[in-house]
Amino acid sequence: MKKPVVIGIAGGSGSGKSTVTKELIKLIDKDSVTVIEQDSYYKDQSDKPFEERIKTNYDHPFAFDNDLLISQLKDLIDGKTIEKPIYDFEVHNRKKERENVSPSDVIILEGILILTEEKIRELLDIKVFVDTDSDVRIIRRILRDLKERGRTLDSVILQYMSSVRPAHLQFVEPSKRYADIIIPEGGYNKVAIDLINTKIQQVLNS
């Protein structure tokens, strides 16, 4: 089996990483793309009561089970199917169920901190950073957390000020220097998307 093309798409929370991923899938072929999200690999917290789990700083590198992520990414690259964890943000813990994910010609890894970890970077053929203004990111985060994660407005804003913004400045923003391609304007940059797709096709056909 030919080695798949592995693309890492990083950027701050609400930057437009998912938009870039969706646009790339449209250009490639949804049956030829496997997408895994770093959010699925938050550490299991079954040993902690709910009161402790809600204090988790999800924007800090220590929150992620990178060993499992790296292991499963390597399995996908080797052509193996994985059982990807599923994270439930309402209970702040992994679900008991797992999701079967099959390998493809193109693997997209999406997440805020994937470029901060050297062992992850070494597995990426194309490293992308989606660069978006902070005001746009916070608005998108508020809308997402209210609609999808059962959060209150006060809790989202408090979390942003106490952990999201500091972690972005300390970890996410500096990781931009490792990117091969930086996409401005929140992922809606068609020229950048086309360039990434061209590179993907070159690697696939080489």
Question: Per residue, what are the HEC states of 35-96?
Answer: EEEHHHHECCCCCCCHHHHCCCCCCCHHHECHHHHHHHHHHHHCCCCEEEEEEECCCCEEEE
26 is known to lie in a ligand binding site = no
Query: Has 17 been labeled as part of a binding site?
Result: yes
Helix axes 17-27, 190-204, angle to 10 degrees: 50
Tokens (6 digits) for 166: 């500091």
Cross-strand partners of 181: 128
Residue 187 is given by DSSP the state G
Q: Identify how many contiguous H helices and E strands the chain contains and give both numbers.
A: 8, 7
Q: Is 15 annotated as a binding residue?
A: yes
150 marked among binding-site residues: no
186 is in an annotated binding site: no
The reply, when asked if residue 13 is annotated as ligand binding, is yes
Does 71 belong to an annotated binding site? Answer: no
The verdict on whether residue 162 carries a ligand-binding annotation is no
Annotated binding site: 11-18
Annotated binding site for ATP: 11-18
